[in-house]
Structure 1
């Protein structure tokens, strides 16, 4: 039976759901549309590992492989280790019998617990649900709004010292080797030690005919030299030092790299106290904040804190996450996520915030060079041509290869911190070596997989979008990179299966493709970027943040390969700050526009799946209501006293009810919604006053990672008049 599954996730998106979902359920029920929820929050996923909650993620993963799938997926926490530990602590305090996170498991019970927690941390949700490739673009209504109401862009100076620093050699990109499997097989990854011992790192790795398998490693000695040089460079150039990684999605490799950044910035600290910190289980991978919190219990605690202050004083100025609270770029590995932090820096003129609370030029350190050139190309363009103008600029939409955990985002279970010198080998079932690398202790080695069927589907989606949009589509692939060479061959083969007459379809290296796209942007022209999984993530933040001010306003459709649909609602990078503001002053600034957009194609798909035309009427009315919502500027204002997330939901409900009452395709629905539309219009002032009246005081939601449903609902639905009006449906 057809149904829409609405996901409960985390932080601000979850709180917004307590306000918006009752509206959706009330409207949907009048058209016979079934809406159910599934809890895939980090708290629920932790509890499911220990049999204390349903495995909702596993259930949705199975559903995503069926034609019946119709899932609305809100942003979720991709938990870093500090976030995971915080969630565990909160759940323990609520009475759940779950173990601590074992940093260095030494018993079978600890190893079992660690294995369970490893299934939750990082990007555990997206690889399970994304059984299709990605189609992300700014809806016309959003683009038109941005042109009519351009957001603020910081000025760029031609003599800006802001730059990207990247290794360019001895990194993941430089060391990559790639093979295409000639037949179904089972691979083994092993480490052959310099002393002849063999350690199996991964066995039973099933692969399919035509699958692309890559192996690569980060040379950690070269990484450490590079990082020391960049700390010195930032100091010499008198710019802020910042590191930009993806410690959430790249949950094994990037926290390790982050730890090396912390050590490079505080060399004296780790020379003097590295052994004591390690003995106490304090890892630089968890960030400076975790270190400072933990050292109070050590005999040398005060001396260690003094060494940190000395490092801050002697090194370059550190970019800040929150200068008022002293939270630096290196405090928490999940605080500075590259796909959100780099566009924000570019948008405000190449600046980040310094310890003095002012904006400064910045050295953005992106160690691996696979995609760093994309950001440098945009910076170079801004230095030469100034800031972009949202009122006139074109768009870069994206078709992303992500199905079946493609590429780097599927590498977590095949990423290893090498314990001893030797050679890592990838062998087929016949014992033949397909890929091998000589490695040293501490090197970070990883393998990635990209199956053939998703590549073929990706090419098809790119051609479909290029024809529908009538604009050039560019595959961001570099023939000098091993993985990309294999993809280029497949792309050329599969493009030949389609009618591409009259279409402009190009293949360019990422930095060159960036320059091509931003040149078109300045002329007001649109381009489709056709990219792999990581660049999909980067581009669907980079261009929307520049074009429309946020990536939360994107239409994100995943046509699932087996026929269903997954509808994503934007990015959640700013969600933690929104929750903090709500708890402090009962004001939620989160913008639910992404949910409004996602619900339209979800309802359209439901109409196809169920044969219920009322769902299509709901969708069309919601589409028109959302455009009115934008034109009337009813998104949340920035501070207490204006409408927040709850007020924006009220106005969407008002405009949606009005559109349903006025439509002529379904007389029964028009009749059902006419009284509600009249009531909401009549009581608009009263409802808005009730929503604003609660602002300014602390709000109790009963938990951060697992809010109390009754408390959260009470906080997010404070208007008695609105609640009673909806109940009349």
Structure 2
């Protein structure tokens, strides 16, 4: 696949993003189908490379050859997202942790890219420059740039109907389950939060004032607009360490698994540090004895136990360090496992256990996680910050009392999420700091007024974030729109005892007056109460719209879909951009690294592209409405019907070789879509154009399925993990000569 950056913008176009891991590989199979069908409606499909590797390469043009250089596609799309003509389909991408970033750099270096190593402790100007460029890439670098609108996420009717007719397995809950959530509740981000609404446009400054009066500017310019909500808070690291030590002891005393649930990818500054404190708390003797030696060797607990164990072979006391790790594992509680067969624990890699996916999976599994023995066990889920921990405890309490939810009868909880212009905590990356010395951190206006201030100690984690007034106003509008469209109650998940939420409650009341809300049920509830209310309704088969901030948007659009339909990857995720364009995200799932491992090992990709199908239909529909392209609407309508047939005929990928994988599912979608197009009566010319393809795919079904199945079982060479070789990946993902020729003939 080539990047089409240099092409002039056509009248009708869809930008399809090239991302990472399983979604990227699936694109090699699905995109030729999209291009062939879209062309019949006069729609061009262009690609932009926003993969982790692509983002890295774009940062260092001066070090690369002409052939290696690529444009900064993310910056281009960020600008496009502010324009009315934007029509972007965004697939899941890697939100890179430090280990992932280092691995991607190493692979690119091996492919001949002259990239600098990631500087852990930059000393020279050159190293500081390299670190700054890499910091632009790590963590959630993509979403805040593209999300120039708020979020509308819901399970499509076809998916919900399928789940009701074919309910997925839910683990049984016991009334005496010992699974629970542990959270700090004090001296954490939630309890230390302060908030202010700025009166006018300004440029704020963040500074640290040491105990001796020395002032250090942490961030020179924070531009704010009138009415913007600005928050600041910190986590007391001494309190965090006490809390972690207490929960490790508690898990051992209660004989439950210890599991840590963070989001080290999105909260790319704070959460890896919190993760590192947990590693140190779990292995106190190890770090007392060998901490200095590990630090001198560049081994950081923030990178996890896996990175530490990989480095011990090169240490003088490597065997002793390894023995200390084994002793720590034996002395502590049993750790929840990512992969018990391979000994990969909850503390191995900071990006392995992501709270919004790991907690729903545990709840769906009856409150269990996997232990070192390969069996399921009750678990102490440790969520240090208490901002949203109560949501998960409320679900656990409900399941303990009433048993597992029933996908065949349960209602749904769609989400309207406040995320435009990097709203709330997910926009805090460039304003999060590990405090260097005792003193105070404060936010100061251009006039010198101190707006927010905290007394802090060395190592504390301080952060600030912003939420623009225009984003809040648009969020309220979208909530009212969805409530009116569905008739379901809309509940704003806001806690008026929290500083930030108190301001939002005032603004919600203010902006609701701008809309006709007669006959609508609109409520404001604290998150734990809103959870209990939604669960009560969902058990009765009733629907409830959750209207949430940015982090809860992420959490809820995994939590409820995983319980309702088995996965968050089957969500319809629309971002109506504030300036009139559309961003269509392909579900709430991640990028599935294990799927890539399976493909390389046995040429079988079980990635489910259903989210891509939904996003593509919504993209065509948006294009039809915006540009009065009737054929785009026909493509949207027929794709929706084809997807419903696809689900009813159960053509999603199976987990193991021998069945239909991602490539097979794409074939069946193409078949059903061609049949729908050939049979529709809105556009006779379009129907005629697809008649031959529908007949070919139908008559050659057995041959195509056989060609796709024939490659399974042998290793696949894609030429790279973070940056596959395009020709090799295309060959692997398009092994059916019959299907390829049929698409080419169209």
TM exceeding 0.5: yes
Aligned residue for 1:229? 246
Aligned residue for 2:290? 273
Alignment partner of 1:24 is 2:41: no
Aligned residue for 2:535? 518
Listed one character per residue, the Cα deviations across residues 445-485 of structure 1 (whole Å, up to 9, x for unaligned) are: 00000000000000000000001010100000001100000
Alignment partner of 1:67 is 2:77: no
Matches within 5 A, 1:192-207: 192-207=209-224
For residues 395 and 590 of structure 2, the distance between their equivalents in structure 1, rounded to whole angstroms, comes to 21
Aligned residue for 1:214? 231
In the TM superposition, what is the alpha-carbon distance from 1:204 to its structure 2 partner? Answer: 1.5
CA contact (8 A) 1:584 1:697 kept: yes
1:339 to 352, 356, 364: 356
What secondary structure is seen at the aligned counterpart in 2 of 1:110?
Answer: helix
For residues 519 and 53 of structure 1, the distance between their equivalents in structure 2, rounded to whole angstroms, comes to 52
1:90 to 107, 123, 137: 107
CA contact (8 A) 1:133 1:400 kept: yes
Listed one character per residue, the Cα deviations across residues 359-405 of structure 1 (whole Å, up to 9, x for unaligned) are: 00000000000000000000000000000000000000000000000
CA contact (8 A) 1:13 1:572 kept: no
Aligned residue for 1:148? 165
Matches within 5 A, 1:586-597: 586-597=603-614
In the TM superposition, what is the alpha-carbon distance from 1:574 to its structure 2 partner? Answer: 5.8
Structure 1 residue runs of 5 or longer lacking an equivalent are none
For residues 572 and 510 of structure 1, the distance between their equivalents in structure 2, rounded to whole angstroms, comes to 22
Alignment partner of 1:187 is 2:204: yes
Aligned residue for 1:557? 574
What secondary structure is seen at the aligned counterpart in 2 of 1:325?
Answer: coil
In the TM superposition, what is the alpha-carbon distance from 1:34 to its structure 2 partner? Answer: 1.1
Listed one character per residue, the Cα deviations across residues 594-649 of structure 1 (whole Å, up to 9, x for unaligned) are: 00000111001212333321111111110110010011110001110001000000
Listed one character per residue, the Cα deviations across residues 49-87 of structure 1 (whole Å, up to 9, x for unaligned) are: 002321000000000000000000000000000000000
Aligned residue for 1:724? 741
Listed one character per residue, the Cα deviations across residues 307-350 of structure 1 (whole Å, up to 9, x for unaligned) are: 00000000000000000001000000000000000000000000
TM-score w.r.t. length of structure 2: 0.97
For residues 724 and 652 of structure 1, the distance between their equivalents in structure 2, rounded to whole angstroms, comes to 17
What secondary structure is seen at the aligned counterpart in 2 of 1:396?
Answer: coil
Listed one character per residue, the Cα deviations across residues 193-213 of structure 1 (whole Å, up to 9, x for unaligned) are: 001111000112110000000
For residues 444 and 38 of structure 2, the distance between their equivalents in structure 1, rounded to whole angstroms, comes to 53
For residues 136 and 188 of structure 1, the distance between their equivalents in structure 2, rounded to whole angstroms, comes to 35
Alignment partner of 1:509 is 2:526: yes
State the superposition RMSD in angstroms. 0.6
CA contact (8 A) 1:2 1:609 kept: no
Aligned residue for 1:50? 60
CA contact (8 A) 2:261 2:355 kept: yes
CA contact (8 A) 1:194 1:421 kept: yes
For residues 591 and 348 of structure 2, the distance between their equivalents in structure 1, rounded to whole angstroms, comes to 17
For residues 638 and 446 of structure 1, the distance between their equivalents in structure 2, rounded to whole angstroms, comes to 42
Aligned residue for 2:383? 366
CA contact (8 A) 1:76 1:572 kept: no
CA contact (8 A) 2:97 2:265 kept: yes
Alignment partner of 1:462 is 2:479: yes
2:145 to 118, 123, 128: 128
TM-score w.r.t. length of structure 1: 1.00
Alignment partner of 1:318 is 2:322: no
What secondary structure is seen at the aligned counterpart in 2 of 1:37?
Answer: strand
Change in Cα spacing, 1:413 to 1:81, as seen in structure 2 (3 Å) is: same
Aligned residue for 2:135? 118
What secondary structure is seen at the aligned counterpart in 1 of 2:466?
Answer: strand
CA contact (8 A) 2:263 2:351 kept: yes
What secondary structure is seen at the aligned counterpart in 2 of 1:324?
Answer: coil
CA contact (8 A) 2:182 2:384 kept: yes
When the two structures are aligned, how many residues end up with a matched partner? 729
Aligned residue for 2:46? 36
What secondary structure is seen at the aligned counterpart in 1 of 2:646?
Answer: helix
CA contact (8 A) 1:320 1:354 kept: yes
Aligned residue for 2:620? 603
Alignment partner of 1:376 is 2:376: no
2:494 to 477, 493, 502: 477
What secondary structure is seen at the aligned counterpart in 1 of 2:280?
Answer: helix
For residues 346 and 49 of structure 1, the distance between their equivalents in structure 2, rounded to whole angstroms, comes to 41
Deviates more, 1:271-280 or 1:400-409: 271-280
CA contact (8 A) 2:83 2:579 kept: yes
For residues 486 and 155 of structure 2, the distance between their equivalents in structure 1, rounded to whole angstroms, comes to 12
For residues 183 and 629 of structure 2, the distance between their equivalents in structure 1, rounded to whole angstroms, comes to 54
Alignment partner of 1:2 is 2:12: yes
For residues 611 and 494 of structure 1, the distance between their equivalents in structure 2, rounded to whole angstroms, comes to 32
What secondary structure is seen at the aligned counterpart in 1 of 2:219?
Answer: strand
Listed one character per residue, the Cα deviations across residues 282-323 of structure 1 (whole Å, up to 9, x for unaligned) are: 100000000111121110111101000000000000000000
What secondary structure is seen at the aligned counterpart in 1 of 2:137?
Answer: coil
Listed one character per residue, the Cα deviations across residues 222-280 of structure 1 (whole Å, up to 9, x for unaligned) are: 00000000000000000000000000000000000000000010010011111111111
CA contact (8 A) 2:12 2:42 kept: no
For residues 684 and 571 of structure 1, the distance between their equivalents in structure 2, rounded to whole angstroms, comes to 32
For residues 12 and 467 of structure 2, the distance between their equivalents in structure 1, rounded to whole angstroms, comes to 31
CA contact (8 A) 2:23 2:591 kept: no
Deviates more, 1:44-53 or 1:650-659: 44-53
What secondary structure is seen at the aligned counterpart in 2 of 1:363?
Answer: strand
For residues 486 and 280 of structure 1, the distance between their equivalents in structure 2, rounded to whole angstroms, comes to 47
For residues 588 and 600 of structure 2, the distance between their equivalents in structure 1, rounded to whole angstroms, comes to 21
Listed one character per residue, the Cα deviations across residues 158-196 of structure 1 (whole Å, up to 9, x for unaligned) are: 100000000000000000000000000110110100011
Matches within 5 A, 1:408-447: 408-447=425-464
Listed one character per residue, the Cα deviations across residues 417-459 of structure 1 (whole Å, up to 9, x for unaligned) are: 0010001111101101000000000000000000000000000
For residues 328 and 204 of structure 1, the distance between their equivalents in structure 2, rounded to whole angstroms, comes to 41
For residues 611 and 368 of structure 1, the distance between their equivalents in structure 2, rounded to whole angstroms, comes to 48
2:503 to 462, 466, 486: 486
2:309 to 292, 295, 320: 292
For residues 47 and 625 of structure 2, the distance between their equivalents in structure 1, rounded to whole angstroms, comes to 21
For residues 464 and 83 of structure 1, the distance between their equivalents in structure 2, rounded to whole angstroms, comes to 40
For residues 172 and 133 of structure 2, the distance between their equivalents in structure 1, rounded to whole angstroms, comes to 48
Listed one character per residue, the Cα deviations across residues 548-589 of structure 1 (whole Å, up to 9, x for unaligned) are: 000000000000000000000013436101000000100000
Aligned residue for 2:8? none
